[in-house]
Structure 1
Amino acid sequence: MNFTGIRRAILFFAVALLLVMNASAQQAAKRIVSLNGAITEIVCALGFEKAIAGVDVTSTYPASMNQVPKVGHNRNISAEPVLALQPDLILATDNFIQPSVIEQFKAVGVKTVQVKQEFSIDGTKKLITAIAAALNVPAKGAELCKQLDKEKQSLQVKQQSKKVLFIYARGAGTMMVAGKETPLDKIITLAGAQNAAGSFNDFKPLTPEALVTANPDVILMFEDGLKSMGGIDGLLKVQGIPQTTAGKQKKVIVMDGQLLTGFGPRVVQAVKELSGKLNS
């Protein structure tokens, strides 16, 4: 080999090495901050649990996330606590984080990926695909989606006429009901029942008049929400509830909040659990 050939070989080797190093760097985000509970579950399911440096307070699953630094609720995230964790990748949905906060992340050069979250099983698959792409593991994302399809195929939901009212509570002083276009409305429908508060969108304060009008057959709550009320006995002291069918029969279903509303990889499990409790 002549001198020119040697130079070309060295140059080719150097370029190949650089490409390999860049690919390796792209594949392995070493410090991830997740600002959504469903995203956190997906990141862990894709094998990046140990790379998570911080999460928002909705990230409660898997249990190991309780040991990870919290940066606030995804509805009121500020840039400072997130950037203090020195992330090299920030993952969030596009429905809560303020645009000005996202701009702060990008201004300091931190890779920030926002993805759309749709509250459906197909929406969960889209979310998985987007996060897998951000982590440069599309094959793992496809495998997780395939697993979700398999779970969906085995899901058997009995359609019924029961009216379900979801009540968000933080003690008797803070009580809201979930209308249409909310994760609660979607999960109730997927479980085969009807949202008793289907006459409005989003969340509204709970009133005795609204309770009597809705007259739910079942009241659905987060576990910690019912606990904040002092259990079912405390809930039955709320004006209007004893007059509903659910109140008279003490038909109250409680579930883990993140499981019920997260629409992450456990979404089929959530539908199955809620459907089972509605039929028990």
Structure 2
Amino acid sequence: MKILRAALLLLLGSASLAHAAPARVVGLGGPVTEIVYALGAGDRLVGADASSIYPPAAQQLPKVGYYRSFSIEGVASLKPDLVLASDQSGPPQALEQLRKLGSPVVLLPSDPSLEALDQRIMGVARALEIEARGAALVRRIHAELKALPANGSKPRVLLVSSHTGKLQGAGGDTAAAAMLQLIGATNVLASQQGYKPLSAEAAVALRPDVIVTSTLSVESSGSVEAFLAQPGLGATPAAKGRRVVVMEDLLLLGFGPRLPEALRQLQAGIAAKAGGAR
């Protein structure tokens, strides 16, 4: 009987190990990594890509390059039992190579929409075997979104990025456009698709009430003053009136679990600055 009991315990122990939840996880894509932390599973992360800048703990993780061109060797050296990746991670052959090396890879949708956000959260939660936490996070986000105040006006907003050293305006089919739409603001570049270089003439003709940009874009210029003095912005009334809203990059454009907070900050910032345009 003792031998039978011992054999049974050994069998159960082996089954438990075979189905153990992933314990060594690498995140590819800032929003993906942020979701892991939001689900209370940050202690499972052993590495992340360079865009994983929030929360502060993510900045302390070993980095494996940028998620669109990550280092296969860097990821493999961390011996992950799961790689959670934005569907924009790559190149595709790099992801396939990780699979061949024995690392399961779960791709998550990157679209800037509420539906895709729900899918990202639940995809991460399922992969980590904490679906109940994922469902709870989704419910909380939707409840907070419903509580956002309605926007009575439709300020004209120009959202620009220059962290690469080149000034670019955000048109349709971008996270920036989706954010402006959710708060009821008017994207002055709505007729444009994606990010495109912004000329001084075009910026002046757009007549934005407010300029929105990210922290890294301002830091690349050295200061808010230097950022607003760029040829593509300096001649606009918004720049002359210092009507600019600056937000943390991942908060502004990540479409992650802090979406309600991002929309509250964006809405309040634009409303405060737009009031000075009248």
In 1, distance between residues paired with 2:38 and 2:187? 31
Is the Cα–Cα contact under 8 Å of residues 128 and 145 in structure 1 kept in the other structure? yes
1:251 to 243, 246, 250: 243
Is the Cα–Cα contact under 8 Å of residues 29 and 89 in structure 2 kept in the other structure? no
Is the Cα–Cα contact under 8 Å of residues 54 and 71 in structure 1 kept in the other structure? yes
Shift in Å, 1:245: 2.9
Name 1:100's counterpart in structure 2: 93
Q: 1:63 to 1:10 in 2, by over 3 A?
A: closer
In 2, distance between residues paired with 1:232 and 1:13? 65
Is the Cα–Cα contact under 8 Å of residues 121 and 268 in structure 1 kept in the other structure? no
TM-score, structure 1 normalization: 0.89
Give the match's secondary structure for 2:234. helix
Q: 1:279 to 1:87 in 2, by over 3 A?
A: same
Shift in Å, 1:33: 0.7
Number of positions where the alignment pairs a residue of Structure 1 with one of Structure 2: 271
In 2, distance between residues paired with 1:95 and 1:66? 21
Name 1:180's counterpart in structure 2: 172
Is the Cα–Cα contact under 8 Å of residues 179 and 197 in structure 1 kept in the other structure? yes
Is the Cα–Cα contact under 8 Å of residues 157 and 275 in structure 1 kept in the other structure? no
User: What stretches of structure 1 of length at least 5 have no aligned partner?
Assistant: none
Name 1:192's counterpart in structure 2: 184
Name 1:20's counterpart in structure 2: 16
Name 1:265's counterpart in structure 2: 257
Q: 1:245 to 1:125 in 2, by over 3 A?
A: same
TM-score, structure 2 normalization: 0.89
Give the partner amino acid of 1:200.
Q
Shift in Å, 1:249: 2.1
In 2, distance between residues paired with 1:116 and 1:265? 14
In 1, distance between residues paired with 2:9 and 2:249? 53
In 2, distance between residues paired with 1:91 and 1:11? 36
In 1, distance between residues paired with 2:212 and 2:121? 27
Give the partner amino acid of 2:138.
C
Shift in Å, 1:218: 1.0
In 1, distance between residues paired with 2:204 and 2:145? 36
Shift in Å, 1:10: 7.7
Name 1:41's counterpart in structure 2: 34
Q: How does 1:223-234 map to 2 (within 5 A)?
A: 223-234=215-226
In the alignment, does 2:83 pair up with 1:90?
yes
Shift in Å, 1:44: 1.2
Give the partner amino acid of 1:224.
L
In 2, distance between residues paired with 1:79 and 1:240? 39
Is the Cα–Cα contact under 8 Å of residues 200 and 235 in structure 2 kept in the other structure? no
In 2, distance between residues paired with 1:78 and 1:91? 15
Q: Deviations over 1:245-270 (max 9, x none)?
A: 31232211100001111111101100
Name 1:78's counterpart in structure 2: 71
Give the partner amino acid of 2:44.
A
Shift in Å, 1:166: 1.4
Larger Rg: 1
Name 2:275's counterpart in structure 1: none
Q: How does 1:80-229 map to 2 (within 5 A)?
A: 80-170=73-163, 173-229=165-221
Q: 1:144 to 1:170 in 2, by over 3 A?
A: closer
In 1, distance between residues paired with 2:232 and 2:12? 71
Is the Cα–Cα contact under 8 Å of residues 226 and 235 in structure 1 kept in the other structure? yes
In 2, distance between residues paired with 1:39 and 1:256? 17
